[in-house]
């Protein structure tokens, strides 16, 4: 089992920045890729960004590609999501997730991820 805890959410004005973190505990000896998803009120959960084990390969959805950066330090069990130039449409609950079955590939499908955090709220005011 892997437990994931997100932090760093909050309220920010449009154009501002936030840095989300996701700390993993439990069976962290396994290799796993990690992803960030978000869910706005009344909408389905959507993919934001993903990173492979070791941090060599990342992938982001087009709407955040030039504004958000996902990263992880190889020796750490924490993944970060740096979010710049935030927009009101970025508002939602952000979840991190871990996929131990595909540590060296990025998946945009929520169904690929076995472990999920409880989520952290991000609110961007206009």
The H or E element spanning position 15 is none
* Statement: residue 3 has pLDDT above 80: yes
* pLDDT tens for each residue of 7-44: 999 999 999 999 999 998 887 677 889 999 999 999 99
Q: Which residues pair with 25 in a beta bridge?
A: 3
* pLDDT tens for each residue of 64-83: 999 999 999 766 688 999 99
* pLDDT tens for each residue of 81-124: 999 999 999 999 999 999 988 999 999 999 999 999 999 999 99
- Residue-level length of the chain: 126
Q: Name 98's Cβ contacts closer than 8 Å, sequence gap at least 6.
A: 2, 4, 24, 32, 33, 34, 113, 114, 115
Mean pLDDT over each residue of the chain, to the nearest integer: 93
Q: How far apart are CA 120 and CA 22, in angstroms?
A: 10
What tokens does 13 get? 């004005």
């Amino acid at each position: 089992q892997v437990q994931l805890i997100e932090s760093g959410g909050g309220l920010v004005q449009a154009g501002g920045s936030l840095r989300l973190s996701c700390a993993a505990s439990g069976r962290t000896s396994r290799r796993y890729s990690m992803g960030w998803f978000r869910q706005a009120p009344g909408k389905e959960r959507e993919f934001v960004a993903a990173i492979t084990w070791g941090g060599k390969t990342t992938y982001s959805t087009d709407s955040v590609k030039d504004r958000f950066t996902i990263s992880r330090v190889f020796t750490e069990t924490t993944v970060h999501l740096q979010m710049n130039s935030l927009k009101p449409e970025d508002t939602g609950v952000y979840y991190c997730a871990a996929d131990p079955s595909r540590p060296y590939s990025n998946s945009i499908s929520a169904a690929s991820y076995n472990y999920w955090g409880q989520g952290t709220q991000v609110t961007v005011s206009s």
